[in-house]
Amino acid sequence: MFLMSGTPAVCPLGNGPAYVRLDNVSKFFSSARAVFQLTVGIGKGEFFSLLGPSGCGKTTTLRLIAGLERPDQGAVSIGGEVVASADTWVSPEKRGIGIVFQDYALFPHMTVGQNVAFGLKGCGRAQAKSRVEELLELTGLAGLAGRYPHELSGGQRQRVALARSLAPRPSVILLDEPFSNLDADLREELRRETKRILKEQGATTILVTHDQEEAFSLSDRVGVLQGGTLEQLGSPAEIYHRPASRFVADFVGKADFIDGTVEDGTVRSTFGSFPLDDSAGIGTKQVELMVRPDDVSFVPDAAGQATVTEARFLGASVLYQLQFTDGRAIHSIRPSAEVTPVGSRVSVKVDASHIVIFPKDNA
């Protein structure tokens, strides 16, 4: 069982020293705080995501890295060079960065080939032509160089935007929710393709998104933002299973929060009692227990402690709501082949190793 109460938002880099680094960066718009004292390092070749709700500061952070905004405090470094600080400023075009925007921002009067070649000014014609052909092949757009953006599907336009951003061989690629305008099936396919392409190119990639599935499926590490501050930084598994704050626990994945009491090394709750390693010295305290639906199982039992009050069919699985005799409820996700009718009495089992505890006074 994990006791999480203000765990530091840190996680070591997987790829050596930071290639992109923000040190104590803050940005204000009038009196509103967009980003506050943000410190994070992103390794060379890493796929990193900033995850959070609307207004949390993730797009502002991306713009600070790109040079589209100036920080009010702190410093931004790329490849060991400070590009923004109180006394340093490197313009966006000199930062070695490619950007893919949410709306793709393609030039409607240019063909696919011309759009991709736009960032290759200064290259010879033959060299530019070769690079465009290489990228169109890489992104699955071979044969479409002469088409215009309005003649393409949403997925094809996204690929053109990616190819254009890669054309000048940037060291860093910034993705501003580039999949949000696509339908679900195409979105999943293009996520996989985009990650493959960027890994092949060796680019350091920073994605901003509000979609946790997107962040988890693509990223080596994820930073969760709220109110302009970093709530937690870690691998997708760490963020999901060991949330460092009540906000992260609630925002990332579905979770139920059940009141409990810690007493004499034991956590007591509606769905059972569990031993607790009290090395943190929590003592006797009212707490909240975070339980994920995938850590809850049950079996039909006429003498069980809960009743199935709701069943939501999700295709491969069913999300059940289980209500205890004291009126409290938790959820369980089970394979759809296991059908338990609403109204059934059940015995509930919770995987105690994945329970996360938050002090009640911090809820």
CA-closest candidate to residue 174, choices 76, 34, 38, 36? 76
List of residues 6+ apart from 238 with CB closer than 8 A:
11, 232
Domain contains 124: no
Residues 266 and 226 in one domain: no
Residues 219 and 350 in one domain: no
Domain contains 186: yes
Residues 224 and 284 in one domain: no
User: Which residue, chain included where needed, has tokens 């049950």?
Assistant: 298
pLDDT exceeds cutoff 80 at 10: no
The rounded distance, in Å, linking the Cα atoms of 116 and 93 is 16
Residues 190 and 85 in one domain: yes
Residues 86 and 177 in one domain: yes
Buried b / exposed e over 89-125, threshold 16 CB at 10 Å, is ebeeeebbbbbbebebebeeebbbbbbbbebbeebee
Residues 183 and 298 in one domain: no
| pLDDT-wise least confident of 102-106, 289-293, 296-300, 337-341 | 102-106
Domain contains 92: yes
Residues 82 and 193 in one domain: yes
Q: Average of pLDDT values for 108-128? A: 90
Q: Which of 232, 251, 270 lies at the terminal end of a domain, its last residue?
A: 251
Q: At 264, which helix (H) or strand (E)?
A: none
What is the rounded end-to-end Cα distance, in angstroms, of the chain? 18
Instruction: State the total domains in the chain.
Output: 2
pLDDT at 353: 83
Residues 204 and 290 in one domain: no
Residues 272 and 247 in one domain: no
Q: Which of 228, 251, 274 lies at the terminal end of a domain, its last residue?
A: 251
Average pLDDT, the chain: 90
207-226 pLDDT per residue, tens? 999 999 999 999 999 999 99
Q: At 175, which helix (H) or strand (E)?
A: strand 172-176
The rounded distance, in Å, linking the Cα atoms of 325 and 340 is 19
The rounded distance, in Å, linking the Cα atoms of 125 and 9 is 48
Residue range(s) defining the domain that contains residue 210: 2-96+170-251
Residues 246 and 260 in one domain: no
Side-chain half-sphere CA neighbours of 49 within 13 A: 25
What pTM was computed for the model? 0.88
Domain contains 154: no
Domain contains 108: no
Domain contains 60: yes
Q: Above pLDDT 90, what percent of the chain?
A: 70
CB 356 within 8 A of CB 242: yes
pLDDT exceeds cutoff 60 at 13: no
More confident residue, 321 or 270: 321
- pLDDT band at 9, cuts 50/70/90? very low
pLDDT at 320: 98
Residues 88 and 183 in one domain: yes
CATH number, domain with residue 72 = 3.40.50.300
CATH number, domain with residue 330 = 2.40.50.140
- pLDDT band at 124, cuts 50/70/90? confident
Q: Average of pLDDT values for 308-313? A: 97
Residues 204 and 340 in one domain: no
Domain contains 244: yes
pLDDT at 277: 64
The rounded distance, in Å, linking the Cα atoms of 179 and 98 is 16
Domain contains 292: yes
53-110 pLDDT per residue, tens? 999 999 999 999 999 999 999 999 999 999 999 999 999 999 999 999 888 889 999 9
- Taking the alpha carbons of 5, 9, 14, 17 in that order, is the dihedral positive or negative? negative
Q: Which of 221, 251, 281 lies at the terminal end of a domain, its last residue?
A: 251
